[in-house]
Amino acid sequence: MNGFLHDFFDIPSDLQHSWIGLVGLHLREALLPVAAGLLLALPIAQLCIRFRWLYPPVLGITTVLYAVPSLAFFVVLINYTGQTELTVMIPLAVYSLVVLVPAIVDGVRSVPQETLSAATAMGFGPLRRYFQVQLPIAVPAIIAGLRVATVSSISLVSVGMLIGNQGALGNLLHDAQIYNRPELTWNSVITTALLAILVDALLVLVRVLLTPWMPSGTAGRKQAPALKDAAR
Amino acid sequence: MIRIDSVTKRYPDGTVAVDRLSLEIPDRSITVLVGPSGCGKTTTLRMINRMVEPSEGTILLDGEDIQRQPVTTLRRSMGYVIQNAGLFQHRTIVDNIATVPRMLGWGKQKARARAAELMERVGLDAALAKRYPYQLSGGQQQRVGVARALAADPPVLLMDEPFSAVDPVVRKGLQDELLRIQDELGKTIVFVTHDIDEAIKLGTMVAVMRTGGHLAQYAPPAELLSGPADAFVEDFLGGDRGIRRLSFFPSARLELTSDPVIPLDATAEQIAAPDAPYLLVTDADGRPLGWSAPRDLVAGDIRPERLLSHGRPFVPGTDSLRVALDCAVLSPTGWAVAVDTGGRVTGVVSQATIGEAIRSAHAAGRDDEKVAG
Ligand SMILES: Nc1ncnc2c1ncn2[C@@H]1O[C@H](COP(=O)(O)OP(=O)(O)OP(=O)(O)O)[C@@H](O)[C@H]1O
Ligand SMILES: [Mg+2]
């Protein structure tokens, strides 16, 4: 047993990282794009809300981009950004946009008309209304989107293995083959799955902390459709 | 005073929601805008705080055009209450109420203290302060809506069908509460409803609007009931407006008689003396026990359980002629029982006497109108 565990965590030296190192790398490559995606998605979503006609084309473009296989993306990007982490992260950021823009738009639009009227009538300007009313009320929908975006991002990082070992935990798959060490495959798969579950749980916790105002019984139900939509 | 001066609102799609409307809304009273759905009530109300800008005409607040001050300043000086309250679901009750004071730059402590004070004023338990809107009933949410609108002590309160989404019992409670608060605070309230009974109950002045944004009649409720301007208003007022109008006549001047009132321990002479078909028996404290024909009463052996019910009594100082008439109609003997606020009988009055009072009140009302006109 000890021997297996030793082998399990014995990361080949060509990866230049310990197991923990790979985990850190994987998280960075997965989460930075989602963070960038969120920063981009907020203003894009706001534009889509402000100018209704903009939403369908934006949705169309992001969906088409989503349909481009990640590998094709990488191949094109290599010409510009080389075999670097950036080449992996740019497509992931784009993918997270596809999930986050609709999540934010739907979330902000779900704010009841009465609430908006009340805010306006109390003398909220448009900016104050956005940041103090619409955005906070959209938090559950935004976090539902973030959950989908991060989980898919964590699993997609592994593909980066194909472009000069930029796949963090995914690189273990490659090494498992060349060194004929199946336990490394297990390591890669299990660790990635655990990371996804942990990060997801963390986001749920953040949601619970940020939204004490949500009826606890309906919290899960309200998000379910958004999640399903986004996962499609 | 709010003065709406031949204001027209044409929406971009061409709908004329309000058509050359002129209205003078007096200070420190409740003015109700009432009318069928789509007649432009909400549009009119929203033009007062500039959530809708008029296409033509002007609105003056204390003599000054409301266009002259910054729109957010104007809105913060006007409380606004809507159907379903429109509370901020992500903020606690106390923070909801403190919204406008906080925007006006009050400190957190002061704003919260003010919120607590208002919760008490609108009849909300202080224990609800830290709750979120979803944890409140519809009626409670509506009270929070009223408290929130009052928070910065604005001189004007705009209310758009604030009580129409709650059940009739809760609605009555909220209406009574509003009248009480208004007695204490004396705001200038513009109140929109499509319920004519609510309009008549709450309004000092009632503006009846008709589809197309026209003003059909603008009058105090009693005048509306006695003299509808046209068939539309008459139809909108609905049936039995004669009876409803009696709500505006006090019952204080009704001529009461205490001849047929006898105590439980009445003597045979006391039973025989009054020349009345029925006698009202009272207990030792003077509270009514019930009616009986004199021949069914035996001196020294009057059994309260054998008496006819005395029905609901009325209080002459507080109740209207309508209540007195209702008591008489519901009484098994046709006589209404008058009591003081302590429930002691002060006399009884027959349907005929009430009818007399109604006729003279109507006559006086017509004279008043002639004088006013
Ligand atoms: N933003 C808008 N654009 C176009 N037409 C509108 C708009 N808002 C209201 N209207 C129209 O203006 C008319 C008056 O509307 P308003 O909301 O003032 O009616 P209301 O008296 O408040 O009705 P309700 O009792 O149903 O609330 C209606 O015919 C309505 O369809
Ligand atoms: Mg309306």
Give me the CATH number covering residue A137. Answer: 1.10.3720.10
- Predicted-complex ipTM score: 0.81
- Residue B373 within any structural domain of the chain: no
- Residue A3 within any structural domain of the chain: no
Residue nearest to ligand 1 atom 29, measured at CA: B38
State the residue range of the domain holding B104. Answer: 2-248
Give me the CATH number covering residue B84. Answer: 3.40.50.300
Q: Residue-wise over B289-318: b if at least 16 C-beta within 10 A, else e? A: bbbbebeebeeeebeeeebbebbebbbbee
B93 and B230 inside one domain:
yes
Tell me if chain A has a CB within 8 Å of the CB of B282: no
Given this model, what pLDDT does residue A1 score? Answer: 56
- Residue B150 within any structural domain of the chain: yes
- Residue A227 within any structural domain of the chain: no
B225 and B298 inside one domain:
no
Give me the CATH number covering residue B289. Answer: 3.10.580.10
Q: How many domains does chain A have?
A: 1
Predicted model pTM: 0.83
- Residue A186 within any structural domain of the chain: yes
Check: CB of residue B281 under 8 Å from CB of residue B299: no
State the residue range of the domain holding A151. Answer: 24-209
Pick the atom of ligand 1 nearest to B39's CA.
21
Q: pLDDT, tens digit, for every residue of B120-160?
A: 999 999 999 999 999 999 999 999 999 999 999 999 999 99
Instruction: Give the percent of chain B with pLDDT over 70.
Output: 98
Q: Which chain B positions have a beta carbon within 8 Å of A215's beta carbon?
A: 134
B234 and B277 inside one domain:
no
- Residue A145 within any structural domain of the chain: yes
Given this model, what pLDDT does residue A218 score? Answer: 54
Residue B107, burial from CB neighbour count under 10 angstroms (0-12, 13-18, 19+): exposed
Q: pLDDT, tens digit, for every residue of A128-141?
A: 999 999 999 999 99
User: Region A103-115: what's the mean pLDDT?
Assistant: 94
Check: CB of residue B2 under 8 Å from CB of residue B74: no
B270 and B229 inside one domain:
no
- Residue A192 within any structural domain of the chain: yes
Q: Which chain A positions have a beta carbon within 8 Å of B105's beta carbon?
A: none
pLDDT: which is higher, B262 or A75: B262
Spatial strand order of the sheet with B64-65 comes to: B16-25, B2-10, B56-61, B64-65
Q: pLDDT, tens digit, for every residue of A53-77?
A: 999 999 999 888 888 888 888 888 8
Tell me if chain A has a CB within 8 Å of the CB of B251: no
- Residue A96 within any structural domain of the chain: yes
B180 and B318 inside one domain:
no
- Residue B364 within any structural domain of the chain: no
- Residue B25 within any structural domain of the chain: yes
Position A223 pLDDT exceeds 50: no
Residue nearest to ligand 1 atom 10, measured at CA: B17
